[in-house]
Amino acid sequence: MAEAAFNDETLFAEPVEQALSPVDQLRAQWNQQPGIQLIRQKNVIDQNPTLLPYVGSAGLSGWSWPYAFAMKGLLAAALFASLFNWYLTHDAGPLHEQLAINQANTEDEVRRQQGIMDATEAEIRRITKSPKQIFNLHMSETVLTREQALQ
């Protein structure tokens, strides 16, 4: 009888694991999920949908009810779609085309003004370096003196 009490098989036997209830299984699965709550909930639903009837009694922190979960998913999809749409179209459309046209017109006008200033400076240099005292300018109908032409 003493031999039966100290049998090696019973002394070092592994403890029998108790089967977890569905609520405990759901809690364990919820706690093992990484990431944000929306992804955690999706993973739990995908991995073990048979545990969904026990969600109400499990009291999971961060679990969203079906309408709230659906709304979060729709908001995430809408946000993704709008950002993707913006990425594809932020350099297109009538407003962008008008901006490009205005920028090109501004650059043309700056070049035109620079050409006028360069021509004026060249004319001033020509008049100041010339030994003549009387000038016939293209924009004047009368003959001008050096001082009148430089004004």
Give the pLDDT confidence of 34-84 residue by residue, as tens digits.
888 899 999 999 998 999 898 888 888 889 898 999 999 999 999 999 999
Nearest CA among 11, 15, 72, 10 for reference residue 41: 72
Instruction: Give the per-residue pLDDT at 78.
Output: 97
pLDDT band at 5 (very low <50, low <70, confident <90, very high): low
Q: How many domains does the chain have?
A: 2
Instruction: Give the per-residue pLDDT at 16.
Output: 47
Same domain for 48 and 111, yes or no, is no
Distance in angstroms (rounded) separating the CA atoms of residues 111 and 107: 6
Whether pTM exceeds 0.75: no
12 vs 135 pLDDT, higher one: 135
**Structure token digits, residue 123:** 């004319």
Tell me the torsion sign for CA atoms 36, 40, 46, 49. negative
2 occurs within a structural domain: no
Distance in angstroms (rounded) separating the CA atoms of residues 53 and 110: 73
pLDDT of residue 115 exceeding 90, the answer is: yes
Range of the domain at 55: 15-89
Which of 64, 89, 114 lies at the terminal end of a domain, its last residue?
89
Instruction: Give the per-residue pLDDT at 46.
Output: 93
Say if CB 70 and CB 78 are below 8 A apart.
no
